[in-house]
Amino acid sequence: MQVSVRDNNVDQALKVLKKKMQREGIFRELKLRKSFEKPSQRRAREKAEAVSRARKMERKRLEREGF
Looking at the predicted structure, is the pLDDT value of residue 67 above 80? Answer: no
Asked if the model's pLDDT at residue 9 lies above 80, the reply is yes
- Phi, psi for residue 12 in degrees, rounded to 5: -65, -40
Domain ranges for the chain: 1-35, 36-67
Instruction: Report d(CA 65, CA 61) in Å as an integer.
Output: 6
Predicted confidence (pLDDT) at residue 5 exceeds the cutoff of 80: yes
Kindly report, residue by residue over 47-60, the tens digit of the pLDDT: 999 999 999 999 99
The whole-number pLDDT of residue 48 equals 97
Rounded mean pLDDT of 8-24? 94
- Mean pLDDT of all residues in the chain? 93
